[in-house]
Amino acid sequence: MRVEVFLSGGSVLPDDVRGRTVIVIDVLRASTTIATALSNGARAVIPVGDMAEAGKMVANLDPASYRLGGERDGVPIEGYHFGNSPREYSRDAIGDRTVILLTTNGSGAIVRCAEAAEVLVGGFVNAEAVAAHARKAGRDVVIVCAGWRNRISLEDTLCAGLFLDLVWGEAVPGIMTDSAYIAWTMYRAERHDLLGPIQRCNHAKRLEGLGYGEDVAICARRDTLPLVPVYREGRLVRLQETAAAA
């Protein structure tokens, strides 16, 4: 099984992911928000690339059937029900509803990977569950870091290193791509205290300044939401729901 890493989601092309299992990572905060929403009973999460797309999507929907969530540069979008804090996506708020989600980096990265054989959304909060499914699927894997506005983000790179560690296990390849080497060696160096470097990263500082410091700690916890969000027909659902529907 070959594993490739893209340290920024903006550089991914359809040929890079076609026929492969893709794991999209947006540690702060889309990965955790998506996993939280699905864990708390959302029917699905629909990632969108821009506000126009979100507006068209909700135009013909029953207002009681959905909730709009999103942010730009960490700030909630005016007129949306929620921002991008996982703490907002409680069962009472989104249970049995569809969440339409627009974020600065993560939602667009998911949509750009639609040509893959399978697209999963992963973070620290569900790393073991997502990695186990990727191993079981047996395809080559592409790990896509959402990053920050087409730049590398430390937190996503660390998480990519964790996924490499989990997918490879004891079978660490003798030759790996430069991007995989960067992510894996960074994770191995920091693995005993992940929260420390995450709290020091640029986006964590940005969120702390906006009053979302608690979100950073939530998003850095390992395996608190052991579920696998999978992208099917433009919607993210829990993996077992997809299997049951098939």
**DSSP code per residue over 137-154:** H-S-EEEEE--BTTB--H
For 77, which DSSP code?
A: P
Gyration radius (Cα) of the chain, Å: 17
CA 58 to CA 80: how far, in whole Å? 11
Note the pLDDT tens digit of each residue in 138-161: 999 999 999 998 899 999 999 999
Q: Give per-residue burial for 99-133: e unless 16+ CB within 10 Å, then b.
A: bbbbbbbbbbbbbbbebbebbbbbbbbbbebbbeb
Token pair of 14 as six digits: 């359809």
pLDDT of residue 198: 97
The pTM for the full model equals: 0.95
Contact 41, 73 (CB under 8 A): no
Q: How confident is the model at residue 211 (pLDDT cuts 50, 70, 90)?
A: very high
100 touches 110 (CB < 8 A):
no
Q: What is the pLDDT of residue 1?
A: 86
What is the pLDDT, as a whole number, of residue 60? 86
Q: How far apart are CA 131 and CA 162, in angstroms?
A: 9
pLDDT (tens digit per residue) in 58-69: 998 999 999 999
Average pLDDT value for residue range 36-48: 98
What's the pLDDT band for 111 if we cut at 50, 70, 90?
A: very high
Phi and psi, residue 205, nearest 5°? -65, -40
In order of start, what are the domains of the chain with their CATH numbers? Answer: 3-235 (3.90.1560.10)
Measure the CA–CA gap between 137 and 6, rounded to whole angstroms. Answer: 20
pLDDT at 243: 41
- Gap between the Cα atoms of 227 and 233, Å rounded: 19
pLDDT given for residue 184 in this prediction: 98
Residues 6+ apart with CB under 8 A from 99: 37, 42, 44, 45, 46, 66, 67, 68, 69, 89
